[in-house]
Structure 1
């Protein structure tokens, strides 16, 4: 449970900061987005398994195989619908001029698929994620982004605010030593992901280090996993997520300055300005 909480970088926080800070064109951005996509693929499956393990009933190897079959079956249905039905969904969106109807339709699709996932004993997070996979197959996906982004900007803060209200600090902060250790390790681990992974990806040491500093924030998937934990772990996890998200955002903001402090100013390549020979 704690491993799952520490695992995933917050896609929403990181992607929003990349856009707001004007770093979408940076050399490390493609590498960062690749990590976020990978974690977004793994995390919903991990959540579904944790929910099954935490149900209180016996969980055997057969149950695990059945759970995996459900996950892949639901994913296959989503991909099939995305490649067939949702390929033609753009025509419907063009006809709909009322933005409120579009919002209701798109949120309804995510809610319905999340409900199907719950009916199968899986996580609604997995269902909502697969709904996004289906909608991404639409030809001009920017039509959806324009409609969904305001909803995201409204609901994301409420999501974290609601989770914060569920943290009961009546008995103090549990496992303080473990909390400090995990915060230090989780930042160091993401730095290693950036430095080593960036090197494998073909980035320079400077850019790889900056990438590592930019992926330290934990967020939505950590909150989802923390929400299914028992009382003591839930309080511990909630405090961890809040502190890790705050530290991660600070590290992201100061990543360029910290990189310059360690590696110095980048050397600008000299351009040959001589006129060509005639």
Structure 2
């Protein structure tokens, strides 16, 4: 049975953690003598990541743009596209491409084999920290969301998600087959990549704009969660097609049932868990009496999500929604923020570092075809999500444009589709490059466009109010 892979799949997690336990320090290398060097590489990578995050965020704020956009751009600058300060093997980089590895090799006089091993281990450690960052981000978003309000827009969010999957998937697949004469399976894979929505990026921007609890924000977040589930199912289907030429129906049914039971079950059981959680927190007398039980719950839910082949971030989000209903929510929210400030920037910067802008170079013949296909995919990617705003009904005064734009960014989710498609051999280089370009532009365009949409809506409301008063 073929299962969809989350951002960092459970196998990578298990392998990484197992390797970590083999060494006396936080490192993922088989040779104990290299463990301190791996830790040195991780620490130096974090220095570059945090510098990039802070500089990018501050510059973005000065330009009146969402700080998360600055973090993403800063990641591009320090990553594979420019300075090579932080690079990852899954992006096609090797040890010699990494400035961190060059510094470590100079300091420690390492052999080529040792450098390769250390580079792999250091990259895995940073990737795990980034994954922890997005888990905590979704836990924080769950805490900031209002479960009762989310339930009110649940059917609206479901419709938005279904439209946001069906329209770009159909338009992208059919367009590639009939306009570019692409083979069916690669076209379906590219169409599937168009269905993705990065809940991490969108929810962060909504939070920064103070719109997370607005009707639009609740619809977007709810739709993004459902979109993630649908995306996993679509990915399972196309992965089956790419490998065997046929769809594993049992796997698709399993994913639909497990996703539904997991989310609904966790929320329903949460009503009984809330009282126990508060009682435990009140009885504990040592430091962390509130935050540690909360993280135990969040990480356990994330573990369950991964264990049943959904995404860990869905479990973390569900945990946040459950604890949002407790009397300790405000206190817990304040305690989560400093931890999120430490780990979440690692996620956004590493998303940027994995973007390779060389695919935009028209001098390379393969890129030219990719750029033409990318133009088509970008149009479909943007329009296919913007139309979701007009799928909302029964909500007078809703900012439909903001809802549509909120669904646009593909982020790390889109990169996962491209990576799996490439690894399976389903995508040739031009089509892979086109998907990556689409992911890059939708990820970077969405934050400023979302800010613009909400700003325009506020100005219209103020003018209408002034007319009424006049």
Structure 2 length-normalised TM = 0.46
1:50 matched to 2:235? The reply is yes
- Give the match's secondary structure for 2:469: coil
Alpha-carbon separation, structure 1, partners of 2:320 and 2:416: 17
- Give the match's secondary structure for 1:269: helix
1:216-243 deviation per Cα after TM superposition (whole angstroms, max 9, x unaligned): 4443544554554435576654443332
Q: Which residue of structure 1 lines up, in the alignment, with residue 396 of structure 2?
A: 202
- Give the match's secondary structure for 1:230: helix
Question: Following TM superposition, by how much is the alpha carbon of 1:9 offset from its aligned partner in structure 2, in angstroms?
Answer: 4.5
Q: Which residue of structure 2 lines up, in the alignment, with residue 276 of structure 1?
A: none
Q: Which residue of structure 1 lines up, in the alignment, with residue 381 of structure 2?
A: 186
| Matched length | 265
Question: Following TM superposition, by how much is the alpha carbon of 1:180 offset from its aligned partner in structure 2, in angstroms?
Answer: 1.9
Q: Which residue of structure 1 lines up, in the alignment, with residue 167 of structure 2?
A: none
- Give the match's secondary structure for 2:467: coil
1:94-149 deviation per Cα after TM superposition (whole angstroms, max 9, x unaligned): 45576756544433433333333333344334433333343334344323322333
* Gaps in structure 1 of 5+ consecutive residues: 273-278
Structural RMSD (CA): 4.0
Alpha-carbon separation, structure 1, partners of 2:300 and 2:455: 45
Q: Which residue of structure 2 lines up, in the alignment, with residue 219 of structure 1?
A: 411
Alignment match of 2:438 (pick from 193, 217, 240): 240
Q: Which moved more, 1:124-133 or 1:175-184?
A: 124-133
Q: Which residue of structure 2 lines up, in the alignment, with residue 79 of structure 1?
A: 267
Structure 1 length-normalised TM = 0.70
1:64 matched to 2:64? The reply is no
User: What does residue range 1-278 of structure 1 map to in structure 2 within 5 Å?
Assistant: 1-21=189-209, 29-47=214-232, 50-51=235-236, 54=239, 56=243, 59-95=247-283, 102-167=290-355, 175-194=370-389, 196-197=390-391, 201-203=395-397, 207-209=399-401, 212-213=404-405, 216-219=408-411, 221-223=413-415, 225-226=417-418, 228-231=420-423, 236-255=434-453, 266-267=463-464, 268-271=466-469
Question: Following TM superposition, by how much is the alpha carbon of 1:73 offset from its aligned partner in structure 2, in angstroms?
Answer: 3.7
Question: Following TM superposition, by how much is the alpha carbon of 1:85 offset from its aligned partner in structure 2, in angstroms?
Answer: 1.9
Alpha-carbon separation, structure 2, partners of 1:150 and 1:237: 35
Q: Which has the higher contact order (CA 8 A, sep 6+)?
A: 1
Q: Which moved more, 1:243-252 or 1:179-188?
A: 179-188
